[in-house]
Amino acid sequence: MKNGIVILDFGSQYNQLIARRIREFGVYSEILPFNSDIEEITKLMPKGIILSGGPSSVNASDANLITKEIYELGIPIFGICYGMQLTVHLLGGKVAKGNIGEYGKSTFFKDKNVRLLKDVPKSSTVWMSHFDEVEILPNGFEEIGHTSTCIAGIANEEKKIYATQFHPEVAHTEFGTQIIKNFVFDICKCEKTWNLSDYIETSIKEIKETVGNKKVILGLSGGVDSSVAAMLIHKAIGNQLTCIFVDLGLMRKNEAKNVMQTYGEHYNMNIIHVDASKEFLSALKDVSDPETKRKIIGHKFIDVFNREAIKLKDVSFLAQGTIYPDVIESKSAKGGPSVTIKSHHNVGGLPEEMNLKLLEPLKELFKDEVRNLGLQLGIPRKMIMRHPFPGPGLGIRILGAVDEEKVKILQEADDIFIQELYKNNLYDKVSQAFVVLLPVKSVGVMGDERTYEYTAVIRSANTTDFMTATWSRLPYDFLDLVSTRIINEVKGINRVVYDISSKPPATIEWE
C-alpha cells in the first residue's frame, strides 16, 4: 500500500470502479469509509487520496464531512463529484443547488492545460450525476474546465489538489481512464508494483505461516470465489484442508457431479459432499417472499455446514471465499453511507460458537482479479469464467414458492439455454445469462391438445462492472432455437419470453 492510492467512500455506486481502474494500471488501491481516522489513512502511507462521489449534499445538516487536515498532509488529492463539492466547501468556497440537475452524458470543455488533463482534448464527453454545483472557488484554486451548466473541473497545482464534477471512472467518460492515469502516475508518481503472480507466491507463504500444522475447513460451492480460495489454500497446505460441499438442491443441472469430479477427483482435494436438498426444499415450502427465501437458505446453509463441521476433529481455521467487494460492503454497513438495496446473494457467516479463526486469502481482490488468479492456479477456464450464480441458487430464479418439480423444470430449461450459448459461441460474449421460472401459467396448444403450463423468461445481460447493464442483443434465430427447444423438451413450460430490461431501472437477477 506504500505505493498505492486510498479512496475515501462517500457512498458512490462507482467507488469500486475507481479502485479497479487503478489496479488495472498495476497500482494497488484500497477503499476506506469516509469517516476513517486520519491516522488510519496516513499509516498506509498512500501516494495519493481520492475523494469519491456520493448521494449527499455538503450543505445538508447530516452531510458526510471530513477533517480539513487531510488537505494539509502534502499527499495529492483528487475529488470526484461530491468529492469536488466537499473540497470547495471545506476550503472556503461555496456550493449551492443548481438551477437544473445534470445527469448522464455531457460535454466537458477544457479551460487549462494542467497535469490532471494531460492528453485530454479541448472538448469531450463525460458522465455527470449531480444536483449541487460549485459557485465560488476557494483561494488558490482555478477553474480548469466547464460544461454548459457548471464548473466541471478545478485545481490547486501548488498543493496538488484536483477535482472534477464528472465521473472519470465511468466508461461513458471518454478520457476518464487517461485522467485517472494522469493523477496516479504524473501527479502521485506511483509505480507499477501490483501483480497477481506475486500475490499467489505471497499468499501461499502467508497461509503456510498462519496455519502451520493445523487443519482448515472451507464451504465449497463450486462458484468462482470459493473454488479459487480452495485451490490457493490446497496449494499451500494440501490435505490439511477439508472442503464441505453442501448441495442445496437449488443448483445448476449436474452441478454436484461436476464439482466433485473437478475438485475431488482431478485435484485430489478432501471434499465432503452433503446432499441436503430435501431439507432446503422443506424449509422453503410455501414461502414466496424473496427476502424471506434468502434468509431461510442462508440460515439453513449455516445449520447444515455447522452440523458437518463439528464432526471434524482438531479444526482451527474456517476458510471463506470473501472478496474485496464483500469487505467494502460490510464496512459500509457498519457506518459508511452506502445503502443496501437487497440482501447480498451470498450466504452469511457461521455461528460464533464454532470458535474458529477466519482465513480469507482473496479478501483484497476484485472479481476479475479472482478469475485471473484461478486461471493462473490451473482451474479449467470453463469453470472459472462461468457467469455469476447467486448463493441462494435457483431459489431466487423461481419466482414465488419453490418446490422440487419447479427446480427440475428450471434446471432443464436453464441447461438448454447455456448449452446453446456455448454451441453458438455466444457464452463469452454476454456477461450473465440464465432462465427464470414465473409463477404464471398460460394456455397453449401442443399437438391437438390444450396445455396450461408455466412461463419461462430468458435473461441475458451485458455489462463491464455489474453496476449498470444492458440486455443482450441475441440473434432472433438463436432465441427461436432456444425457445423451441425449451418448449419441446421441458415438460411444464409452454411459453418463453425474453427480458429486454436494462439495469437500472431493473436488476439483473429477478429477485
378/182 Cα distance (integer angstroms): 35
51, 176, 162, 163: which is closest to 126 by C-alpha?
A: 176
237/276 Cα distance (integer angstroms): 28
116/164 Cα distance (integer angstroms): 10
State the angle between helix axes of 196-211 and 224-237 in degrees (0 to 180), rounded to the nearest 10.
Answer: 60
Q: Assign 273 to helix, strand or coil.
A: strand
What is the gyration radius of the CA atoms in the chain, in angstroms?
25
DSSP characters over 279-332: HHHHHTTT---HHHHHHHHHHHHHHHHHHHHTTSSSEEEEE----HHHHHHHHH
97/352 Cα distance (integer angstroms): 48
> Position of cell 507463504?
205
Phi, psi (degrees; rounded to nearest 5) at 273 = -95, 120
Could you give the residue numbers annotated as active site?
Answer: 81, 167, 169
| DSSP structural state of residue 260 | I
Within its chain, how far is the Cα of 508 from the centroid?
A: 12
The two beta strands, 449-462 and 470-471, are antiparallel
For 203, residues 6+ apart whose C-beta sits below 8 A from its C-beta are 232, 236, 361
330/254 Cα distance (integer angstroms): 33
478/316 Cα distance (integer angstroms): 51
DSSP characters over 362-401: TTT--HHHHHHHHHHTT--HHHHTPPP--TTGGGGTB-S-
How many of the other CB atoms lie within 10 Å of CB of 69?
9
Cα–Cα distances in angstroms (integers) from residue 373 to residues 200, 207, 258, 370, 463, in the given order: 8, 16, 21, 5, 21
155, 152, 162: which is closest to 126 by C-alpha?
A: 152
Strands (E), 192-279: 215-219, 241-247, 270-275
> Position of cell 505471497?
202
Beta bridge partners of 128: 104
Q: Are the beta carbons of 463 and 502 closer than 8 angstroms?
A: no
464/126 Cα distance (integer angstroms): 17
For 416, residues 6+ apart whose C-beta sits below 8 A from its C-beta are 482, 485, 486, 489, 490
